[in-house]
Chain A
Amino acid sequence: MYSELLHALPDVFALTNFAAVVIGVIAGIVVGAMPGLSATMAISVLVPFTFGLEPLVALGLMAGIYNGAMYGGAIPAVLLRIPGTPAAVATTFDGYPMAQKGEGGFALQVAVVSSAFGGIASAFALMLLAPPLSRVTLLFGPSEVFWVAVFGLASIIFLLGGNPVKGLISACFGVFVSVIGSDPIYGNDRFTFGQLEMLDGINIVILLVGLYALPPVMDLLETPLKTDGVNASKLGTVSIWKALPRMNYWKTWLRGSFIGIWIGILPGAGGSMAAFMSYNEARRTSKTPETWGEGEPEGVAAAEVANNADTASALIPALTLGIPGTAVAAVMLGGLLVHGLQPGPMLFRDNPDIVFGFMWQFLFGAILLILLGGSLATNSFARLLNLPRPLLGSVIIVLMLIGVYSIHGRMFDVYLMLGFGVIGWLMDRLKFPLPPVVLGLILGGFAEENLRLALRIGRGDPMILFQNVTSLVLVALTVAVIVGPTLKKRYVDSRRTA
C-alpha cells in the first residue's frame, strides 16, 4: 500500500513540479500576509489557470499556497495585530506583544518553524491515513454517503462558531444553489430559466471566486491600511539558526499538531478553531500561565502549529470520500476535477503517482516554509505590508475575470460570478459566514443525490437509511453535533446558578 508512496517520489522532484511548490509557498506567504486575502481566495482564483498545466504542477502550486498562506497570516498578526487570515487570530495574542517588545523577528521565526512543524505532521497524517481509509470507503454506499453529507452540514453550521442561525441560513443558500440545474436522477431542469449554461448546475469554482475573491478585493480598494511601520522597523531579527535552539516547544508542537490534524479531518471546523483550541490547551498546561498574552513565544507556537496542522489532514475525507471538510479542501477538489481526477477510492488506484505526489508536495511545502519564510526572508516578507492595496485589488479583479471566463469560455459564467460576488459582499457586511455556502453547495448535492439513490435501492423504503452500523454511527454523530453545544451551555449555566 505504501510502496506507491515511494514510487511517486521521483516525479515530485521533477524541475517544474518542484518549482511549482516553491512558487506556491512564496505566493501563499504573500497572500496570507495581506489582511483579507485567504488561501481559499488565492486557490480559487488560481484554479482556472491550471487547466493547461500538468496535474502535479497545478497541485503543487495549491499545496504550496495553502501551506504558505497559513504562515503568512502570522506576519500582520504579529506586526500589526491584524490577522492576515482568520486562522491567525490566536497568533495576535502573544505575537503582537512580542513585536512591541522588539522581538517581532523572533516571533515570526517561531511562527514559521511552528507552521512548518504542523504542516509536516499533517502531511504525514495524510500519507499514513488516506490510503487505508480509501479502501474502507467502498463500504460507503448511497445511504452512508447521505449521512456523511448530513453530518458535514450539521457540523459546519453548529461548530463554525458564531451564530448558528446565520450559519444555517448560509448553508441553506448553498443547498439552494446545489438544486440549480438538471436533477441528478431524471434530468429535469430546475431553476435554469431555459439557459443551457445552467443545466449542469453552478460550477463550484465560479461560486468560490465570486464569494471569496470579490468581497476582499472591494475591501482592498475601499479601506487603506495604516501601517505604522514602527514594529516592522525594530524586528530584532537574528539568523534563524541562532534562533532555533531557543525554541523548545516540543510538547506544544505535538499537542497542537494532534489538535490541528483532528480538526482538519472533521468537516466544518477549520484552522481558526484548531489554533484557538491549541492555544487554550497549551496555556492551561503551562507552568507560567501568567506570562501568556504578554508576549509568550510558546503562545505563538501553539497557535501557528495548529493552523498549519489542519492543512493536509483536511484532504483526508476529500480524497477518500470526495467530501471536503473545509472550503479550501473544496477548492482543491475543484482543482483535482479540472484534471479529470475523480476523488474517491478509485483515485488511489487509477492515479497513484499524482495523488501520492500531491501528498509529498504538502510535506515539501511545509519544509520549504522554514527555508523560504524563515532563513531567507523574514525581514523582506515583513515589508509586504507596504504593498499598494488598490493596485493589488485591481490585479486580482483582472485575474478573476480571465480565470472564470476560461473555465468554459463564456461570458455567462463571468456574470454569474459577479452576481455571486455581490451576494458574497452583502453576506460579508451582514456577518453571514461564507464556508457554509460552499459546503452547502457540495454537500447539499451529495445529500440529495445519495438520498434518492438509497431510496431507489430500498425500493422506496426509508428504513434503508438505518440498516447498518456505519449509518447509525453517523446519525449519532450528527445528533451529537446538533444538541451537544446546547447541552453543554445548559450544563455550564446550571453550574453557574447553583
Chain B
Amino acid sequence: MLNIFKKTAIVGTMCIAAGAALAQDYPAKPIEVIVGYSAGGGTDVMARTAAPFIEKYLGDGASLVVKNMPGASGQIGVTEAANAAPDGYTLGTFNLPGMMARTIDRKADYDRDSFTYLANVVNDPNVIVTSKKSGLDTIEKLLEEAKANPGAITVGMSSLGGDDHFALIKLQNATETEFTIVPFKGSAPARTALLGGHVAMGILNISEVAEFQDQLNVLGVATRERSEFAPDLPTFQEQGLDLVNGSLRGFIAPAGLPEDVQAKLIDAFTQLKDDQEFLDAMAATANPVEIVTGDDFKQLTSELYDLASGVWETSPWN
C-alpha cells in the first residue's frame, strides 16, 4: 500500500518536474498545427505560410507540423484541437465568425471557453459588389433600390452563418433595408453567378474580388481604414456607412496552456507584425494580414459570438 503511495508521489513529482522543464525547454519536440480544412484552402495556406516564421521566432530549432483534418466546415479539426492536451504541442487554426457560429447553429463539443487564444493573423474584409448588368454601380443607387423594392435585390454569398451573412445583417440593420439571400456553396460559384449577372449583388471578401475589379462593380470595403491589399478601393465609412466586417483566421491552443508557454507563443506571433518577409509572403497568397494577439483576440471572439447569437435569436438561418 505504502508502495503505491510512494510510486504515486514519485510519478507526481516527476510530472511536476517535467512540467517545469517543459516551460523552460519549450518547444522540445515538433508542434502539431491542426488545420480543419483540406490542403490548399485559404486557412491551410495561411498556416503553412506562417509556420516557418513562427518556428523562427520560437527559436531553438522549433518545428511546426501542419496536419489537415478537414470536414464539417472545420468543426472536426477545431474540436480535435480544443480537446487536445494543453501542453503547447497541439495548436489549431481558428476561423471567425464560423467557429463561433457553429456553436450556435449546431451541436458542438467545444465553446468559446475551450481555447487559449494565441493570435488572429488574417482579416479578409467583406466587400459589396454588384454585377455590371445590374446598373447599381454606387452604394447610394444600391440602397435606393433596396428601399424602393424591399427584397428585390438578390445577394449571392458563400453560405449562411458565415462572415458574408453577418455583413449583410449588419447592412440591413444599419440601413433598414431588406435583401434576398442566395447562399451558394462557397464564394467561387457565387462570384461566377455575379459575373454572369444571375444575382444582382454579392458579399464576398476582398481577396476574392481584387482581380475582378474590371468585371464587377466593387462598391466598398468593410474596414475602418483602406485595406493595404487594395488601397484604391474606398471603405464604407468614407461613404458614410458604418459597416465593418470580415473573415478572420488565426491560431488557438487548447484552454489551460501553461502561462509561460502561452507567453512564448504569443510573443512569437506578435513579432510576425513587423516581419516584412512574412507580410510579403502573405500578400502573395492573397491573405490580408491583421495581427491581434492574446486577450484582444479573445475579446474579438466574444464580440463576434454575441453578434452571431443575437442574429440567431431574431432570425435563425436554419
Contacts and interface: CB of A to CB of B under 8 A. Distances in A.
Interface of A: 51, 138-142, 182, 184-189, 196-197, 199-200, 339-340, 342, 344-346, 408-409, 449, 453, 456-457, 459
18 contacts: A141-B196, A141-B198, A185-B183, A187-B106, A187-B160, A189-B106, A197-B71, A197-B76, A199-B73, A342-B188, A344-B188, A346-B188, A408-B69, A409-B69, A449-B185, A456-B154, A456-B180, A456-B182
Contacts of B159: 187
Nearest to B196: A138
A141 B79 CA distance: 36
A187 B79 CA distance: 18
Contact of A186 (B180, B199, B318): B318
Given A138-B192, A456-B182, 14 more contacts: A138-B196, A139-B196, A142-B198, A187-B159, A187-B161, A196-B72, A197-B72, A199-B71, A199-B73, A340-B38, A340-B41, A346-B188, A346-B191, A453-B182
Contacts of B160: 185-187
A39 B317 CA distance: 43
B198 A457 contact: yes
B287 to A, nearest CB: 15
A483 to B, nearest CB: 30
Nearest to B191: A346
B306 interface: no
A95 B292 CA distance: 71
Contacts of B69: 408-409
A344 B192 contact: yes
Contacts of B181: 456
Nearest to A456: B182
A138 B68 CA distance: 33
Contacts of B317: 186-187
Q: Which of B73, B192, B197, B199 has the most CB of A within 10 A?
A: B192
Nearest to B107: A194
A445 B199 CA distance: 21
Closest 8 CB pairs of A and B: A141-B198, A186-B318, A340-B40, A199-B72, A138-B196, A196-B72, A456-B182, A457-B154
A140 B196 contact: yes
Contacts of A140: 196
B39 interface: yes
Interface in B29-87: 38-41, 68-73, 75-76, 79
A443 to B, nearest CB: 15
Contacts of B72: 182, 196-197, 199-200
B84 to A, nearest CB: 16
Given A187-B160, A187-B318, A197-B76, A408 B182 contact: no
Contacts of B318: 186-188
B223 to A, nearest CB: 25
Contacts of A456: 154, 180-182
Contact of B193 (A141, A340, A408, A459): A141
Interface in B193-240: 193, 195-199
A199 B70 CA distance: 11
B126 to A, nearest CB: 20
Interface in B11-45: 38-41
Contact of A51 (B39, B73, B195): B39
B184 interface: yes
B153 to A, nearest CB: 11
A211 B59 CA distance: 50
Interface string B130-151: 0000000000000000000001
Contacts of A346: 188, 191-192
B15 to A, nearest CB: 30
Q: Which of B75, B184, B198 has the most CB of A within 10 A?
A: B198
Nearest to A51: B39
B71 A196 contact: yes
A346 B190 CA distance: 12
B310 interface: no
B37 to A, nearest CB: 11
A456 B151 CA distance: 11
B196 A196 contact: no
B301 to A, nearest CB: 21
A367 to B, nearest CB: 32
B256 interface: no
Nearest to B185: A184
A449 B185 CA distance: 8
B105 interface: yes
Interface in B75-123: 75-76, 79, 105-106
A323 B25 CA distance: 54
Nearest to B317: A186
A196 B76 contact: yes
A201 B189 CA distance: 19
B182 A187 contact: no
A185 B182 CA distance: 8
Nearest to B71: A200
A343 B198 CA distance: 19
Nearest to B186: A342
B97 to A, nearest CB: 14
Given A138-B192, A185-B160, A197-B76, A457 B71 contact: no
B300 to A, nearest CB: 24
A453 B76 CA distance: 27
A459 B180 CA distance: 8
Nearest to A455: B182
Contact of A344 (B71, B154, B189, B198): B189
Interface in B265-280: none
Contacts of B184: 453
A96 to B, nearest CB: 47
Nearest to A195: B72
Nearest to A140: B196
Contacts of B197: 141
A459 B151 contact: yes
Contact of A187 (B68, B105, B154, B199): B105
Q: Which of A185, A199, A408 has the most CB of B within 10 A?
A: A185
